[in-house]
Structure 1
C-alpha cells in the first residue's frame, strides 16, 4: 500500500506446488493506478492428470511499488494445501472435470 493507504499497482504471482515443493511460477502484468483490477490472463502448466490431486496453486495479489518493497495484499490457495475448505473443494471439482473451466469467487486471506 502507498502512503494514502490505497493499493494502486497490483499484479498476481501464481505459484504451483507439488506437495510442498514449488514446481512453477508465473506472474501477471501490473495493472497501474487501479483499485479494481481485472486480470484476464491465462497460464498453461503441463501437469499429468494423475498428479493433479497433489497439486496446489497459490495466487498472491501484490501491490507493486518502485521505491519500497512490494506488499502482499492477499492470498488464495486452491488444492490440498488450501487453509480454507472452499479452496479444497474448488480444486477437487477441477480435478474431477479435466479440461473444463471451473470459475468461482473466493475471498483473499492474509499472507
Structure 2
C-alpha cells in the first residue's frame, strides 16, 4: 500500500491499525519523514486475516507528526474498508482480490 499526503510537518508518519468490529487488532507504522511538504510512504505491510473475517475488518490510517518538543499530534485520518466512501471500499476490495499486489490510492484526510 502506498500512502501519499500533502502536509507541512517537521516529522510525520502514518500509523496503520487493523480494526475488527470497532476494536484495534494489530497496528504498525511507517518510517518517519522529516521536512517533507508532500511525504509519500511507499511501504508494504501484511496483515493476516481469515477469509471469513474480511467483511468485519477495516483499516485506519492515522497521519501523525511530532513537534519540536516531541509531542505527537494527529493531522488526520483515513479509513479503508467496505463500509466507507466508494474510494475506500474500492481499494479494500482490490486489496482482498489481489493480496500480493501493491495497491496505490490517494485518500483525503478527515480531521
What is the TM-score of this pair, normalised by structure 2? 0.78
Kept after mapping to 2: 8 A contact 1:30/1:64 = no
Q: CA deviation at 1:66?
A: 4.9
1:21 aligns with 2:20: no
Match of 1:52 in 2: 54
State the alpha-carbon separation in 2 of the partners of residues 36 and 103 from structure 1: 16
Within-5 A mapping of 1:32-47: 32-47=34-49
SS in 2 for 1:88: helix
Worse-superposed segment, 97-106 or 24-33 = 97-106
State the alpha-carbon separation in 2 of the partners of residues 100 and 89 from structure 1: 15
Q: CA deviation at 1:12?
A: 0.5
- The answer to which structure, 1 or 2, has the higher relative contact order (CA under 8 A, 6+ apart) is 2
Q: How many residues align?
A: 104
Richer in strand (by share): 2
SS in 2 for 1:17: strand
State the alpha-carbon separation in 2 of the partners of residues 29 and 102 from structure 1: 19
State the alpha-carbon separation in 2 of the partners of residues 12 and 66 from structure 1: 18
